[in-house]
Amino acid sequence: MTTPATPYTSVVDVLVLLYRQDGRVLLLRRAEPEYHAQLTIVGGHLEDHEWYDEGACREVREEVGVLVEPEDLELSCTAHLLAPSGQRRLALLFTTQSWTGEPRNCEPDRHTALVWADPGEPPTDVHPFTRELLRQFVTGSPRANICVAADEGVRHE
């Protein structure tokens, strides 16, 4: 008799591109040493017993202090991410052009700056996952499998 396979479980990241009319999106410069001051997308992971749209709106509020309504989120891409550590994560990338308030750095211990960037030509210091998710956003690709090698090179599976 064979042993049943263990069900797959994963962290679910909820990421939100605040998208201005001039085409720029909001990125955060990370303060944590593991990110080497790289730029990332606003967001984080779902908490226990939280719906994905609630989590996305909560992360935006916590990180940049603006209010986004769940109905104003548009799912842009679903990605399966493989980190150099071997950890796999699922990421839901949302966009919105509607929010209340002015973005500000609400977590100065975790972020050092807010940067409005062109998603088609992002700064060179964006995190590899962020670079690939921005590419998915720009090309309109609804799904992706993304691997980041230890040398931070991205490859597609």
β-partners of residue 40 are 28
Residue-wise pLDDT tens digits, 21-54: 999 999 999 998 888 899 999 999 999 999 999 9
What's residue 38's pLDDT?
95
Sequence-distant (6+) residues with CB within 8 A of 147 are 81, 82, 154, 155, 156, 157
1: exposed, middle or buried (Cβ count in 10 Å: 0-12, 13-18, 19+):
exposed
- Spell out the domains of the chain, with CATH numbers in brackets: 11-156 (3.90.79.10)
Strand-pairing partners, residue 26, are: 116
CA dist., res. 68 & res. 101, Å (int): 9
pLDDT in tens, the chain (157 residues): 677 788 888 899 999 999 999 999 999 999 988 888 999 999 999 999 999 999 999 999 999 999 999 999 999 999 999 888 888 899 999 999 999 999 999 999 999 999 999 999 999 999 999 999 999 999 999 999 998 876 555 544 4
Dihedral-angle region of residue 43 (phi above 0 means left; psi in -120 to 50 means alpha; beta otherwise): left
Distance CA 146, CA 133 (A): 9
